[in-house]
């Protein structure tokens, strides 16, 4: 599992570097310079986010129990002479409700389904979720009828980037960075 994680981080950095290099070239700069700037400046954030998302998604106990499920599925399939389910399908991903419950165990983070004025705010903004910092705590509000796993991870990444740094770490490009990261890791996160 560690090799898969390292490969996904390396692949994500390579793709991000190529995109940054192409953007730099399109803007009159040098491809290699854009590529290296991305690697130098964004590698730590990419690795940190991958690590956090890996821990939230898999967790130690979920990983151990999931491996047990895989063993049971293989044994049952072998007895019946049937095909063995692949690893990605052997363990169901956590639901939005389960992700909310797990994230609420994190210090400095409050995740909840919006009600009343909060829900009216989300709907007025046409948003599935929102992240704000109030009194030093990170709050994630979700529209229960619309929020997906993608929404939860998107808002959680705002928490990681903003709450841990104290300010929006990437300025106006933060949503683009998060969407690109989630897109690169969509299979891993099963979005």
189 or 166, which is more confident = 189
Confidence of residue 80 (pLDDT cuts 50, 70, 90): very low
Residue 175 C-beta-side C-alpha neighbours within 13 Å: 5
Q: Please give the residue that has the higher pLDDT: either 165 or 38.
A: 38
Say whether pLDDT at 98 is over 50: yes
Residue 57 has pLDDT above 80, yes or no: no
Spatial separation of the C-alpha atoms in residues 111 and 155, rounded to whole Å = 10
Mean pLDDT of 147-159: 88
Instruction: Please return the burial class of 62, using the count of CB atoms within 10 Å of its CB with bins 0-12, 13-18 and 19+.
Output: middle
CB-CB contact of 182 with 131 (8 Å): no
pLDDT of residue 170 exceeding 80: no
Q: Which residue has the higher pLDDT, 11 or 111?
A: 111
Q: What are the distances in angstroms from CA 181 to CA 36, 37, 45, 120, 187?
A: 18, 17, 10, 29, 12
Where in the chain are the domains? 94-191
pLDDT at 111: 92
Q: Examine the pLDDT at 46 and tell me if it is beyond 60.
A: yes
Angstrom distance (rounded) from CA 151 to CA 147: 6
Q: Look up the pTM and report it.
A: 0.53
Q: Where residue 59 falls among pLDDT bands split at 50, 70, 90?
A: low
Rounded mean pLDDT of 174-178? 80
Distance CA 138, CA 136 (A): 7
Rounded to an integer, the average pLDDT of 9-26 is 82
* Among the ranges given (16-30, 36-50, 143-157, 177-191), the one the predictor scored with the smallest mean pLDDT: 36-50
């Amino acid at each position: 599992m560690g090799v898969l994680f390292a490969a996904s981080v390396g692949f994500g950095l390579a793709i991000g570097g190529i995109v940054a290099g192409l953007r730099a070239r399109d803007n009159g700069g040098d491809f290699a310079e854009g590529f290296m700037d991305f690697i130098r400046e964004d590698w730590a954030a990419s690795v940190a986010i991958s690590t956090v998302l890996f821990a939230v998604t898999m967790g130690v106990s979920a990983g151990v129990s999931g491996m047990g499920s895989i063993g049971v599925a293989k044994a049952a399939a072998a007895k019946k002479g049937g095909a063995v389910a692949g690893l990605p399908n052997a363990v169901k991903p956590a639901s939005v409700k389960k992700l909310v419950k797990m994230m609420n165990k994190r210090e400095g983070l409050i995740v909840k389904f919006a009600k009343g004025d909060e829900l009216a705010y989300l709907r007025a903004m046409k948003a599935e979720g929102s992240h704000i910092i109030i009194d030093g705590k990170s709050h994630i509000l979700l529209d229960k009828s619309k929020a997906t796993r993608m929404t939860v991870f998107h808002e959680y990444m705002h928490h990681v980037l903003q709450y841990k740094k104290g300010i929006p770490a990437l300025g106006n490009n933060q949503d683009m960075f998060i969407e690109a990261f989630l897109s690169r890791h969509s299979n891993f996160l099963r979005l």
